[in-house]
Structure 1
Amino acid sequence: MSCTSHSMNRFVLTPKDLESFIETYKIPERFSPTLPGPDDSAECTSDRIVLYTLAFSSCGVRYPLSSFKIDLLHHFRVHFSQLHPLGFIRVVHFELSCVAVSGEP
């Protein structure tokens, strides 16, 4: 495969899948979760963010994010979608370890 060819895997949620996802992860209605249209790209804009559902099941993401996680994202100037699930789980583990010893991350 050449560097210029791209294989694209598309995993599409149905409206029922979205409803189940919202219920499972307790995503508040105020975030107005919606599915992208068939021709929409997964791009963040000033009025929306893109979430990959796999990140929730693989690294324990729960919303709303803690202030520590938000501060960390701002400090490194990255968007949540740029984090690898295995890296994010380390952040979660660090935060929980600090709380377990009555500390602040």
Structure 2
Amino acid sequence: MSRSGRFAIRSVLTKDLKTFVETYNIPERFSPTLPGPNESAECTPDRIPLYTLAFSSCGVRYPLSSFKVALLRYFEVHFSQLHPLGFMRVVHFELSCAAVSGEPSAPLF
């Protein structure tokens, strides 16, 4: 998506925020907020936009594991750039490593 196109994205959360936060156990320390009706999902130093589809379609849970954070840094991508199926692959890899008592790492992935 182009930089100008991202400003066209508006919040379409159909549940209220409190129910969403409780359903996915998002800690209050992250200060979850919804953008206003005329605000775009803009990333700032103190705010990271999240897409609710990622939670429902691939089982995202916060806080992210240290492996997932290291992987995002390793590939220099933002969480919002991952496709839900790609994220499921990351989760599968992490669980597979745990199943064989291995330690997941970005280079190994």
Q: TM-score, normalised by structure 2?
A: 0.82
Which runs of 5 or more residues in structure 2 are unaligned?
Answer: 1-7, 105-109
CA RMSD of aligned residues (A): 1.6
Question: How far apart, in 1, do the equivalents of 2:101 and 2:70 lie?
Answer: 20
What per-residue deviation string (whole Å, max 9, x for no partner) do you get for residues 22-61 of structure 1? 0011111110000101111112111100000110011110
Partner of 1:12: 12
Instruction: Give the Å deviation of 1:10.
Output: 5.5
Instruction: Give the Å deviation of 1:17.
Output: 2.1
Which structure carries more relative contact order (alpha carbon 8 Å, separation 6+)? 2
Question: How far apart, in 2, do the equivalents of 1:9 and 1:51 lie?
Answer: 12
Report percent identity of matched pairs.
81
Partner of 2:89: 90
* Higher radius of gyration, 1 or 2: 1
The one-letter code matched in structure 1 to 2:62 is Y
Partner of 2:41: 42
Runs of 4+ with deviation above 6 angstroms: none
The one-letter code matched in structure 2 to 1:80 is F
The one-letter code matched in structure 1 to 2:100 is V
Question: How far apart, in 1, do the equivalents of 2:98 and 2:53 lie?
Answer: 26
Question: How far apart, in 1, do the equivalents of 2:29 and 2:42 lie?
Answer: 20
Count of aligned positions: 97
Partner of 1:79: 78
Which runs of 5 or more residues in structure 1 are unaligned?
Answer: 1-7
Q: TM-score, normalised by structure 1?
A: 0.85
